[in-house]
Amino acid sequence: MSAPAVTRRLLPTSASRRLPRWLDGLLEAIGLPLVLLALWALSALVAPNRRFPAPWTIAEAFVKTWVGDAFFVDVAPSVSRLLIGLALAAVIGIALGLLVGSVRWLRQLVEPVFEFFRAVPPPMLVPLLALTLGIGDTAKIVVIIAGTVWPVLLNTVEGVRSVDEVQRETATSYQLSTLQRVRFIILPSAAPQIMAGIRQSLSIGIILMVISEMTNASSGLGYRITFFQQNFQIPEMWSGIILLGIIGIALAVLFQLAERFVLGWYRGLKETERA
C-alpha cells in the first residue's frame, strides 16, 4: 500500500522516483534477491563452506540431478501423487461439506468428530496410516487426502451455513431446483471460504508428500533429498531443496490464478464495499 498521491508529491523526490515506472517495478522485484545472491556468491568465494556451496555449484548440480531420469523416477511421481491427492481431497471435501452444511442435525452430529480429526497434526497420520496401508502409491495418496480434506470440508460447511438468507429465499420463491441452487447460489456464495480451505490444504499436502517420502520410501523427492544429505552430497541436496521450493511456489502461483478466476467478483465486491 503506497502513500496517497498528495503526500508523495510533498515528499522530497529521491533518485528512484525519476526512473521510468517499469524500471522501478523491475528494481523492486529483483533488487533484494540479486543483492542476497551476490552476498552468497561473495561469501562462497571468500569463505568457502562445504555446507553452503556457491550458487553456480548448486545450479550445476540442479541440472545434473533433476534434468533427466530423476525427473521421471522421483519428481513426476511425487508431484502427481500430490496433485491427485489434493484434487480428490477437494472433491470429497466440497461434496461432503455441501451435504453436512445443508443439514443442520447432521452438522451438529459430525462436527466435533471432524474438528478433532482436523486438530490432529497431519504428519502424525503418516506413520499411522502406514501401519494399515503400507507404503505404496495408494497409501501415499490416501495420506495426503486424510490430511488435506479437513480444511476444505470444514470451510465448505462454514461457507454453506453462511449463505445469505435473502438469497436462499430468492432461490425458493423463484422455484430453482436443488441442482440450480447448489450451482448458482450455494457454491458461488461459499466459494471464498472454500478457496481459503483449499489454500490451507495445499501447504499441508506438500508437507505430507515430503514426509511420507522421507520415511519408509525408496523413491520420490523427499527420499532423494534425504539420500543426498545422508551421503553428504551437499550441492545435490541443496538443489533438491530448491526444487521443492519451486514446486511450492508453482502451486501457490497456480492457486492464485485459480482464485483470481473463481473469485474475481468477490474482490470487486469487497473493493466497492471498502470505498
Per CB under 8 A, contacts with another protein among 82-121 are 105, 108-113, 115-117, 119-121
Q: How far is the CB of 195 from another protein (least distance, A)?
A: 13
> Among 71-79, 86-94, 138-146, 205-213, which window interacts with another protein (CB under 8 A)?
205-213
Residue closer to another protein by CB (options 47, 166) is 166
- Which long-range contacts (C-beta less than 8 Å, at least 24 apart) are formed by 112-115? 114/150, 114/153, 114/154, 115/154
Alpha-carbon distance of 158 to 98, in angstroms, equals 10
Judged by CB under 8 A, the stretch of 62-70, 71-79, 83-91, 222-230 that binds another protein is 222-230
Between residue 156 and residue 185, which ones bind another protein under the rule CB under 8 A? 164, 166-167, 169-170, 172-177, 180, 184-185
Near another protein by CB under 8 A: residue from 249, 257, 258, 260: 249
Residue choice 80, 95, 260, 265 for contact with another protein (CB under 8 A): 265
Question: What are the beta bridge partners of residue 49?
Answer: 52
Q: Could you tell me the smallest distance in angstroms from the CB atom of residue 264 to another protein? A: 9
Q: CB of 91: closest distance to another protein in angstroms?
A: 21
- The stretch among 56-64, 72-80, 138-146, 211-219 that binds another protein (CB under 8 A) is 211-219
Least Å distance, CB 131 to another protein, is 5
Burial class (CB in 10 A: 0-12, 13-18, 19+), 69: exposed
Query: By C-beta, is 93 or 147 nearer to another protein?
Result: 147
- Interactions with another protein, residue window 19-78 (CB under 8 A): 28-33, 36, 51
Distance, CA of 143 to CA of 124 (rounded, Å):
10
State the nearest-atom distance from the C-beta of 267 to another protein, in Å: 11
Which residues from 126-145 bind another protein, rule CB under 8 A?
A: 126-128, 131-132
Q: Are 110 and 160 in contact (CB under 8 A)?
A: no
Binding residues for another protein, total number by CB under 8 A: 80
Integer Cα distance of 95 and 82 in angstroms: 20
- Give the interface segment with another protein, choosing from 73-81, 90-98, 152-160, 218-226 (CB under 8 A): 218-226
Least distance in angstroms from the C-beta of 23 to another protein: 14
Are 158 and 193 in contact by the 8 Å Cβ rule? The answer is: yes
Interaction of residue 195 with another protein, rule CB under 8 A: no
Give me the amino acid identity at 85: G
